[in-house]
């Protein structure tokens, strides 16, 4: 959900594979695209059906009633075609099939937005940890990605299309065995992002981008206008194009709010917006007040918040090219 919504789990409410109540008010990238450009075609390719029916919420009124135009998933439920063997080779076979269906659909139909989920490297990691088997699973994954990339290159060559291809993972592995994840060690928290786009920005090249940066990157690539109320909630920053500011931080000392950021472009000012509510999580609109406008290269704003009595504050920093946000709770 971090990837799909461009927000962290404190907002979308999905913190593990067993989470049952996603907060669909934090719109996912498929919903944003379909709501603004309903003629666009979307696709999903996955071992699991849960990615489509639970995380995206296909067909659910509370998730926008969106439907995928192309869907190939749920293969783990087909134990006739993919009998669940103790060595879990079936997961590798499912990944091969998912790759085949992805390549075929991309080459023939060229969906406007697709999500491909391959699971074998994670399954092998859980089973064997740091091992020759894990290395081989990465080699297999590389071959599968190569097949998908070949289909994309076919579309680029014969249909003269522009494609953004992003590959990432949602977690690392523990540093002792390589079998587990879910804690806060550096290796478990370390992920990576690979893309075909050469024109990445300085944020991508010089800092530490995260999985939440993928949604605003896709939105910028496809010229998607993200609604203001959604922009104010996004925790990600585009990896392409100009970026005004990153790394928002905020602290309270009595009635003084100190807000900081890292400026990546010196053009223009930063507008500091403040809300004392979090109505967005319930599908309503927060009332933001403009409390400061300051030169972006100052990288700091000091604000007297006596007029805004609250135990909770949402701060949005609006630059010329992007927004970032931070939540602050009063002790």
The domain segmentation of the chain, as residue ranges, is 2-231, 245-329
In this predicted structure, what is the pLDDT of residue 187?
Answer: 86
CA angle 289, 11, 119 (to 5 degrees): 145
pLDDT tier for residue 19 given thresholds of 50, 70 and 90: confident
CATH code of domain 2-231 = 3.40.720.10
- Answer whether residue 18 shows pLDDT above 80: no
Q: Quick one: pLDDT at residue 68? A: 98
Summarised one tens digit per residue, pLDDT across range 278-300 is 999 999 999 999 999 999 999 99
- pLDDT exceeds 80 at position 106: yes
Distance CA 111, CA 103 (A): 11
Distance CA 155, CA 163 (A): 9
Q: What is the pLDDT of residue 215?
A: 98
Spell 191-213 as b/e; 16+ CB within 10 A means b: eebebeeeebbebbeebebbbbb
Identify which of 151, 141, 157 has the alpha carbon closest to the alpha carbon of residue 103: 151
β-partners of residue 116 are 45
**Confidence band for 225, pLDDT divided at 50, 70 and 90:** very high
Instruction: Say which residue the tokens 């010089």 belong to.
Output: 206
Nearest to 295 by CA among 319, 264, 270: 270
pLDDT in tens, 20-30: 899 999 999 99
Q: What is the pLDDT of residue 136?
A: 96
Percent of the chain with pLDDT strictly greater than 70? 100
CB-based burial label for 176 (10 Å; 0-12, 13-18, 19+)? exposed
pLDDT of residue 231: 98
Architecture of domain 245-329: Sandwich (2.60)
* pLDDT (tens digit per residue) in 129-149: 999 999 999 999 999 999 999
Three-state SS across the chain?
A: CHHHHCCCHHHHCCCCCCCCCCCCCCCCHHHHHHHHCCCCCEEEECCCCHHHHHHHCCCCHHHCCCCCCEEECCHHHCCCCCCCCCCCHHHHHHHHHHHHHHHHHHHHHCCCEEEECCCHHHHHHHHHCCCHHHHHHHHHHHHHHHHHHHHHHHHHHHHCCCCCCEEECCCCCCCCCCCCCCCCCHHHHCCCEEECCCCECHHHHHCCCCHHHHHHHHHHHCCCCCCHHHHCCCCCCCCECCCCEEEEEEEEECCEEEEEEEECCCCCEEEEEEECCCHHHHCCCCCCEEEEEEEHHHCEEEEECCCCCCCEEEEEEECCCCEEEEEEECC
On whether the CB atoms of residues 316 and 232 are closer than 8 A, the answer is yes
Query: What does the pLDDT look like over 37-91, one tens digit per residue?
Result: 999 999 999 999 999 999 999 999 999 999 999 999 999 999 999 999 988 999 9
pLDDT at 17 exceeding the cut of 90: no
For residue 303, give both structure tokens. Answer: 């604000």
* Tens digit of each residue's pLDDT (9 = 90 or more) over 236-285: 999 999 999 999 999 999 999 999 999 999 999 999 999 999 999 999 99
pLDDT value of residue 182: 81
pLDDT of residue 133: 94
Query: Whole-angstrom Cα distance, residue 224 to residue 153?
Result: 23
Summary mean pLDDT of the chain: 96
Mean of pLDDT values over 302-327 = 97
User: Which pair of tokens denotes residue 15?
Assistant: 């913190």
Interior angle at CA 78, CA 77 and CA 81, nearest 5: 150
Q: What is the pTM of this model?
A: 0.96
- Report the pLDDT value the prediction gives residue 179, as an integer from 0 to 100: 86
| Under 8 Å between Cβ of 296 and 314 | no
């Amino acid at each position: 959900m971090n990837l799909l919504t461009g927000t962290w789990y404190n907002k979308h409410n999905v913190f593990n594979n067993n989470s049952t109540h996603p907060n669909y008010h934090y719109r996912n990238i498929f919903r944003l695209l379909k709501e603004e450009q309903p003629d666009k075609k979307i696709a999903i390719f996955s071992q699991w059906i849960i990615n489509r029916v639970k995380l995206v919420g296909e067909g659910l009124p509370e998730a926008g009633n969106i439907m995928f135009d192309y869907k190939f998933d749920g293969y783990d439920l087909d134990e006739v075609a993919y009998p669940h063997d103790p060595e879990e080779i079936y997961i590798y076979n499912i990944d091969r099939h998912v790759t085949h269906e992805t390549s075929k659909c991309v080459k023939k139909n060229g969906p406007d937005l697709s999500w491909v989920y391959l699971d074998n490297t994670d399954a092998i990691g859980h089973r064997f940890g740091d091992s020759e088997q894990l290395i081989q699973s990465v080699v297999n994954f590389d071959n599968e990605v190569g097949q998908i990339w070949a289909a994309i290159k076919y579309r680029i060559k014969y249909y003269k299309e522009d494609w953004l291809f992003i590959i990432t993972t949602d977690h690392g592995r523990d540093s002792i065995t390589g079998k587990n994840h879910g804690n806060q060690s550096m290796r478990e928290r370390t992920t990576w992002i690979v893309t075909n786009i050469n024109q990445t920005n300085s944020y991508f090249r010089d800092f530490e981008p995260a999985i939440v940066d993928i949604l605003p990157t896709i939105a910028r690539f496809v010229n998607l206008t993200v609604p203001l109320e959604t922009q104010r909630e996004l925790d990600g920053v585009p990896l392409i194009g100009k970026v005004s500011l990153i790394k928002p931080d905020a602290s309270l000392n009595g009635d003084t709010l100190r807000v900081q950021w890292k400026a990546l472009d010196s053009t223009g000012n930063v507008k500091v917006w403040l809300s004392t509510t979090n109505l967005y999580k319930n599908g309503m609109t927060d009332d933001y007040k403009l409390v400061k406008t300051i030169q972006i290269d100052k990288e700091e704003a000091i604000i007297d918040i006596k007029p805004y009595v609250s135990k909770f504050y949402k701060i949005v920093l609006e630059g010329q090219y992007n927004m970032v946000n931070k939540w602050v709770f009063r002790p």
